[in-house]
């Protein structure tokens, strides 16, 4: 990435080196090969690291046979109930007594009222319903429950 020293005793530059008394002459060309090598290595590092940057809350979602909901242009708001009983809005931990005021503040800034509720499969049904009530009190009436696909169906074959 810098200029190299070229001595007068090699290759096609012998005549030039001899004319100047055999002293080492600075090379005027910039060698871009190391620069390209470094940039390719950085590109590979970012390509590998980019998928790892998505931070999620570890929740074991229940499996159902339901299909996915259509998406809007606005990023959906996600409320998560963790296995330990904590509540998170997106990735921010929220105390249960502060949930409704925070949801009201978020609802005032958003154009839609859709929210996705993720709850660990081991959470009691009563806790999920309490959070759904808080979502409704916070101004979100369009609540979608997030599950994993591939779960059991209650269809007995169309009898």
Residue bearing the bigger pLDDT, 82 or 55: 82
0.75 exceeded by pTM:
no
Q: Please, what is the Cα angle at 139 between 138 and 141, to 5 degrees?
A: 115
User: How far from 110 is each of 18, 49, 56, 77, 134, CA to CA, in Å?
Assistant: 77, 31, 22, 9, 17
Per-residue pLDDT of 80-123, as tens digits, reads 888 888 898 888 888 888 889 998 888 888 877 788 888 888 88
Q: Does domain 77-147 have CATH number 3.30.420.270?
A: yes
């Amino acid at each position: 990435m810098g200029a190299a020293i070229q001595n007068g005793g090699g290759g096609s530059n012998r005549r030039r080196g001899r004319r100047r008394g055999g002293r080492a002459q600075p090379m005027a060309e910039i060698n871009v090969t190391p620069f390209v090598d470094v940039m390719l290595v950085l590109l590979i590092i970012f390509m590998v690291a980019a998928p790892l940057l998505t931070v999620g809350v570890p929740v074991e979602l229940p499996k159902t046979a339901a299909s996915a909901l259509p998406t809007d242009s606005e990023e959906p708001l996600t409320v998560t109930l963790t296995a330990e009983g904590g509540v998170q809005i997106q990735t921010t931990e929220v105390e249960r007594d502060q949930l409704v005021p925070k949801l009201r503040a978020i609802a005032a800034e958003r154009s839609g009222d859709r929210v996705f509720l993720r709850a660990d499969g081991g959470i009691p049904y009563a806790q999920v319903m309490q959070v759904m009530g808080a979502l409704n009190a916070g101004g979100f009436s369009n609540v979608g429950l997030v599950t994993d696909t591939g779960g059991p169906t209650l269809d007995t074959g169309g009898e």
